[in-house]
């Protein structure tokens, strides 16, 4: 019959008699006699614990309770507890002060399933191992799977199924385990690894900004292209202005500032106020109208490039100065919010930005137009998602999240107006960020990551689900910081296996967007000050001046 200290090992030192102490010493001697087995001072191992290990290290004052099952290569620090009926197998390394509740399974190995014609029991095992930091509390009935790292001072709540790494200081729970809150919130600053990494990234980008711009300069045409071999575009001229502003604090060195201003202002069509796409000769085409996607985006890109250069549009933006509340409402009603929310948000962004530039120019905006714009957005926003439009069947909530970024950027963000349902925005965006079709390491692109980072940043003030937001931000920031290409900047896509893929090629668009994304993600972690820059263009994080 087991002694009660088999289930309460802390009682052994005060209640065990000489015979019990002698039996425990014999158990220690038997284990120490095995190769690669070491036990520290005052270790206790219950007689009913099954210890069938290939290698074992138990630090001083560590205990193993009744019914525990230990196999493989196990290393525990000091003052750890393996409570009753816990299973620890495979390769597992734990630090000091790790407390493991009863009936928990920590499995540092797995079956392979690569051959569908071979039964699982005949296929080889694989081991990545599990690493657990110091001062970690693992509740009862927890399952930790192979390949997981658990950071210092983390807590795994009872019943959690842990399939992914757990950050230091995090409290996780559920199946699969997700962040609940922080036991110890992340600390950022110049002394932190994150702060040092951000500072190094920004220094590298600033040092190489001249090379990035020179690489995209088409000297024969006197214009910027997105990347070498591409045709010049309006957006490339504007992206060059933004990259130079954020990294150099000046206009691009290839052309005097006044010439850039004159060119951008001269490209505006005075009849509509829009800027069309460039033809093969580098001359802007006549914009097809407001429903021209290029012309709609140029309201943003040209307007902000001119703003950074200390100038502005030469002619009124007649899409808002010559409309009525009724016509504007009808236009918004006609956008494809069902199934095409990104496309609809694209034009809503242009409307809001046209209102902004018209204010700045001092142009007369017809009575009720601004009220109609914001009123439509407030009336049509979903109280369940915090967004506009409806999710599609094929791509989850991708369309509404991307459409929300565009529509909210040109309205609530640009004019510093509070969001109507910020907590629902967070819920929807965090749900989207779990979709591995768009957020696995090989599928990230600047559009999708920006359209997650900015809404989370915009809705952050309430503190709602802040711990989960920090985990997403940290994960995405890690990919972004590692994606800079020396002398060339960022590609639009990060981690794409085919490095020859066009959207993985470094260029001005990817560089401008990822610089802004890095700032937003760093700011969500309280560390943006380490970058030494704040974007001031299209993807600026603060109200437009």
Q: Which two tokens stand for residue 453?
A: 């980072």
Least confident of 39-43, 128-132, 287-291, 300-304: 287-291
Instruction: Give, for 107, the enclosing helix (H) or strand (E).
Output: strand 105-108
The answer to whether residue 544 sits within a structural domain is no
Question: What mean pLDDT is reported for the chain?
Answer: 91
Least confident of 120-129, 285-294, 394-403, 443-452: 120-129
Q: Which two tokens stand for residue 310?
A: 């200390």
DSSP 353: H
The answer to whether residue 539 sits within a structural domain is no
* Residues 493 and 391 grouped into a single domain: yes
111 is catalytic: yes
Q: Helix H segments across 293-391?
A: 293-308, 318-321, 325-333, 341-361, 369-380
d(CA 386, CA 464): 14
Boundary-marking domain end, from 159, 182, 205: 182
Q: Are strands 223-224 and 217-218 parallel, antiparallel or unpaired?
A: antiparallel
Rounded mean pLDDT of 191-217? 91
Distances (CA, A) of 275 to 212, 232, 303, 380: 26, 15, 10, 30
* Residues 24 and 162 grouped into a single domain: yes
As for how many domains the chain has, the answer is: 2
Instruction: Give, for 52, the enclosing helix (H) or strand (E).
Output: strand 50-58
* Residues 439 and 308 grouped into a single domain: yes
Q: Which two tokens stand for residue 330?
A: 């009808």
d(CA 173, CA 180): 7
The answer to whether residue 320 sits within a structural domain is yes
Whole-number pLDDT of residue 463: 81
- Residue 403: band (very low, low, confident or very high) from pLDDT cuts 50, 70, 90: very high
More confident residue, 15 or 496: 15
- Report the chain's C-alpha Rg in angstroms: 30
d(CA 505, CA 484): 11
d(CA 451, CA 474): 16
Boundary-marking domain end, from 182, 215, 238: 182
Q: Which residue has the tokens 């393996």?
A: 82
The answer to whether residue 509 sits within a structural domain is yes
Print the domain residue range for 109.
Answer: 4-182
- 115-124, 167-176, 428-437: which has the highest mean pLDDT? 428-437
pLDDT at 499 over 80: no
d(CA 181, CA 156): 11
Count CA atoms closer than 13 A to 456's CA, side-chain side: 32
Tell me how far apart the terminal alpha carbons of the chain are, to the nearest angstrom. Answer: 78
Whole-number pLDDT of residue 2: 55
Q: Which residue has the tokens 């270790």?
A: 43
Whole-number pLDDT of residue 1: 41
* Residues 226 and 276 grouped into a single domain: yes
The answer to whether residue 389 sits within a structural domain is yes
* Residues 281 and 135 grouped into a single domain: no
Q: Please indicate, yes or no, whether the overall pTM of this predicted structure exceeds 0.85.
A: no
d(CA 402, CA 316): 29
Helix/strand/coil (H/E/C) assignment for every residue in 169-227? CEEEECCCCEEEEECCCCCCCCCCHHHHHHHHHHHHHHHHHHHHHHHHEECCCCEEECC
Whole-number pLDDT of residue 520: 96
Distances (CA, A) of 136 to 79, 98, 151: 11, 5, 8
- Residue 187: band (very low, low, confident or very high) from pLDDT cuts 50, 70, 90: low
* Residues 322 and 174 grouped into a single domain: no
CATH number of domain containing 300: 1.50.10
Pair 269, 276: CB distance under 8 Å: yes
pLDDT at 497 over 60: no
* Residues 270 and 418 grouped into a single domain: yes
* Residues 400 and 484 grouped into a single domain: yes
Pair 83, 101: CB distance under 8 Å: yes
Q: Is 2 helix (H, G, I), strand (E, B) or coil?
A: coil
The answer to whether residue 188 sits within a structural domain is no
- Residue 502: band (very low, low, confident or very high) from pLDDT cuts 50, 70, 90: low
Which of 403-440 are b and which e, b meaning 16 or more Cβ less than 10 Å from the residue's Cβ?
Answer: bbbbbbbbbbbbbeeebebbebbbbbbbebbebeebbe
179 phi/psi in degrees, rounded to 5: -65, 130
Supply angle C-alpha 295, 298, 301, rounded to 5. 170
d(CA 225, CA 218): 6
Residues 6 or more apart whose Cβ sits within 8 Å of residue 370: 355
d(CA 460, CA 82): 39
* Residues 177 and 266 grouped into a single domain: no
- Residue 116: band (very low, low, confident or very high) from pLDDT cuts 50, 70, 90: confident
Residue 290's nearest CA partner among 331, 330, 326 is 331
Q: Which of these is catalytic: 28, 61, 111, 356? A: 111
The answer to whether residue 536 sits within a structural domain is no
The answer to whether residue 344 sits within a structural domain is yes
Distances (CA, A) of 157 to 100, 129, 177, 184, 187: 11, 21, 9, 15, 22
Boundary-marking domain end, from 157, 182, 207: 182
User: Tens digits of per-residue pLDDT, 235-279?
Assistant: 999 999 999 999 999 999 999 999 999 999 999 999 999 999 999
d(CA 498, CA 504): 8
* Residues 420 and 470 grouped into a single domain: yes
Distances (CA, A) of 164 to 151, 185, 363, 443, 464: 11, 19, 54, 18, 23
Distances (CA, A) of 544 to 34, 201, 307, 412: 70, 26, 10, 11
Supply angle C-alpha 91, 93, 94, rounded to 5. 145
Pair 96, 79: CB distance under 8 Å: yes
* Residues 374 and 500 grouped into a single domain: yes
Q: Which two tokens stand for residue 90?
A: 């495979």
* Residues 165 and 112 grouped into a single domain: yes
CATH number of domain containing 29: 2.160.10.10
Residue 57's nearest CA partner among 79, 40, 44 is 40
């Amino acid at each position: 019959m087991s002694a009660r200290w088999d289930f309460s090992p802390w009682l052994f030192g005060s209640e065990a008699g000489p015979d019990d102490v002698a039996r425990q010493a014999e158990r220690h001697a038997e284990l120490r006699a095995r190769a690669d087995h070491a036990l520290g001072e005052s270790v206790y191992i219950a007689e009913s614990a099954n210890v069938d290990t290939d290698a074992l290290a138990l630090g001083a004052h560590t205990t193993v309770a009744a019914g525990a099952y230990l196999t493989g290569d196990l290393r525990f620090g000091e003052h750890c507890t393996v409570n009753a009926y816990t299973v620890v197998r495979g390769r597992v390394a734990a630090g000091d002060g790790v407390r493991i509740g009863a009936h928990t399974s920590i499995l540092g190995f797995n079956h392979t399933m690569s051959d569908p014609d071979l039964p699982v029991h005949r296929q080889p095992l694989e081991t990545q191992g599990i690493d657990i930091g110091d001062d970690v509390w693992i509740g009862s009935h927890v399952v930790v799977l192979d390949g997981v790292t658990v950071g210092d001072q983390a807590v795994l709540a009872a019943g959690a199924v842990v399939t992914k790494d757990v950050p230091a200081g995090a409290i996780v729970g559920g199946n699969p385990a997700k962040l609940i809150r922080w036991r110890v919130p992340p600390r950022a600053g110049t002394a932190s690894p994150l702060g040092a990494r951000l500072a190094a990234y920004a220094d590298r980008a600033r040092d190489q900004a001249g090379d990035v711009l020179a690489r995209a300069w088409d000297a024969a045409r006197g214009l910027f292209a997105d990347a070498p071999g591409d045709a010049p575009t309006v957006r490339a001229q504007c992206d060059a202005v933004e990259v130079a502003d954020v990294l150099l604090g000046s206009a691009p060195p290839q052309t005097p500032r006044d010439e850039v201003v004159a060119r951008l202002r001269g490209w505006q069509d005075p009849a509509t106020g829009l800027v069309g796409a460039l033809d093969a000769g580098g001359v802007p085409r006549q914009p097809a109208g407001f429903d021209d996607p290029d012309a709609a985006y140029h309201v943003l890109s040209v307007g902000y490039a001119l703003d950074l250069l200390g100038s502005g549009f030469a002619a009124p933006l007649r899409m808002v100065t010559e409309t009525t509340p009724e016509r504007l409402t009808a236009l918004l009603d006609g956008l494809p919010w069902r199934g095409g929310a990104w496309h609809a948000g694209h034009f809503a962004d242009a409307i809001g930005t046209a209102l902004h530039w018209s204010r700045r120019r001092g142009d007369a905006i017809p009575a009720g137009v601004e009220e109609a714009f914001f009123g439509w957005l407030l009336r049509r926003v979903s109280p369940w998602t915090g967004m506009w439009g409806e999710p599609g069947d094929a791509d989850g909530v991708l369309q509404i999240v991307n459409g929300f970024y565009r529509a909210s950027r040109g309205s609530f963000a640009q004019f510093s107006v509070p969001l109507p349902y910020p907590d629902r925005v967070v819920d929807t965006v965090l749900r989207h960020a779990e979709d591995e079709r768009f957020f696995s390491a090989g599928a990230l692109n600047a559009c999708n990551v920006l359209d997650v980072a900015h809404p989370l940043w915009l809705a952050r003030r309430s503190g709602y689900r802040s711990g989960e937001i920090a985990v997403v931000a940290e994960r995405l920031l890690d990919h972004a910081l590692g994606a800079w290409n020396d002398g060339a900047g960022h590609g639009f896509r990060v981690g794409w296996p085919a490095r020859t893929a066009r959207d993985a090629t470094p260029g001005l668009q990817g560089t401008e967007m990822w610089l802004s994304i890095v700032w937003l993600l760093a700011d969500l972690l309280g560390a943006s000050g380490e970058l030494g820059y704040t974007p001031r263009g299209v993807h600026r994080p603060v109200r437009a001046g």
